[in-house]
């Protein structure tokens, strides 16, 4: 489910629709929670689908760490990618604002975390645009993305969280464990499907690899 202070708007003919903030949304705000209404499509179910359904799933879903495609029931599926996105996925089952988002600003995501099966050309128009999304983006960028996500998560208790109530108890416990310094931060590399190493960077440092920071 997407944050309530958002709306769907037409961006342009090339991009189509996008999701925009209707009010100021501060850094650290949970923008999307993978809730119980999301449509989950397993690999075998996807392979049995006809082309019409497969095309919709490919366009609007993301693939989680289990290899399951998740199609949002609400406007979350219209969030576009930008290399200088203002929202990022976390390994806690939600997305978070990694910087302040103004009213009327488009909410954008990092699709490099979505287990895309093959390279895709992009035209976000951002400075330092990567031009292509690659299946290996998360391997190459997770340390820089962790710097942004970890920093945003540390703001969670300091801003309004309209979506807090739909987080499940396990997620809340995991989050509080991290925020109270009882558990280590969970790296976004855990979002990678078939990730055999389940890396958690021993040290979050610098962002020298990050060419698209906000
Ligand atoms: Zn770009």
Rounded to the nearest angstrom, the distance between the alpha carbon of 157 and the centre of ligand 1 is 31
pLDDT over threshold 70, residue 199: no
Give 135's contacts (C-beta < 8 A, 6+ positions apart): 115, 116, 117, 118, 119
Q: Which H or E element spans position 97? A: strand 94-97
Rounded to the nearest angstrom, the distance between the alpha carbon of 141 and the centre of ligand 1 is 14
Radius of gyration of the chain (CA): 16
Could you tell me if 122 and 15 are in contact, meaning their C-beta atoms sit under 8 angstroms apart?
no
Q: How confident is the model at residue 179 (pLDDT cuts 50, 70, 90)?
A: very high
pTM: 0.88
For 121-174, how does the pLDDT look when each residue is reduced to its tens digit (9 = 90+)? 998 888 889 999 999 999 999 999 999 999 999 999 999 999 999 999 999 999
Q: How confident is the model at residue 211 (pLDDT cuts 50, 70, 90)?
A: very low
Rounded to the nearest angstrom, the distance between the alpha carbon of 87 and the centre of ligand 1 is 14
Rounded to the nearest angstrom, the distance between the alpha carbon of 135 and the centre of ligand 1 is 15
Map out the domains of the chain as residue ranges. 6-191
Looking from the CA of 87 toward its CB, the CA atoms found within 13 Å total 27
Rounded to the nearest angstrom, the distance between the alpha carbon of 212 and the centre of ligand 1 is 8
Rounded to the nearest angstrom, the distance between the alpha carbon of 53 and the centre of ligand 1 is 28
Rounded to the nearest angstrom, the distance between the alpha carbon of 45 and the centre of ligand 1 is 32
CATH class of 6-191: mainly beta
SS3 154: coil
Rounded to the nearest angstrom, the distance between the alpha carbon of 133 and the centre of ligand 1 is 9
């Amino acid at each position: 489910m997407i944050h309530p202070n958002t709306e769907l708007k037409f961006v342009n003919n090339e991009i189509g629709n996008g999701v925009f903030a209707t009010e100021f949304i501060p850094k650290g705000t949970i923008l999307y929670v993978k809730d119980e209404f999301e449509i989950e499509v397993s690999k075998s179910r996807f392979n049995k689908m006809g082309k019409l359904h497969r095309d919709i799933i490919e366009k609007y879903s993301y693939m989680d760490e289990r290899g399951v495609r998740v199609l949002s029931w609400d406007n979350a599926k219209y969030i576009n990618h930008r290399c200088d996105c203002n929202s990022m996925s976390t390994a806690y089952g939600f997305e978070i604002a990694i910087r302040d988002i103004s009213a009327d600003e488009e909410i954008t995501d990092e699709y490099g975390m979505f287990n895309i099966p093959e390279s895709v050309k992009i035209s976000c128009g951002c400075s330092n645009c990567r031009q292509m999304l690659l299946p290996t983006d998360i391997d190459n960028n997770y340390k820089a993305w962790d710097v942004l996500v970890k920093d945003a998560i540390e703001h969670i208790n300091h801003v309004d969280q309209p979506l807090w109530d739909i987080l499940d108890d396990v997620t809340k416990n995991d989050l509080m464990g991290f925020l109270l310094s009882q558990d280590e931060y969970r790296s976004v590399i855990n979002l990678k499907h078939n990730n055999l190493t389940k890396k958690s960077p021993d040290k979050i440092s610098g962002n020298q690899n990050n060419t698209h920071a906000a």
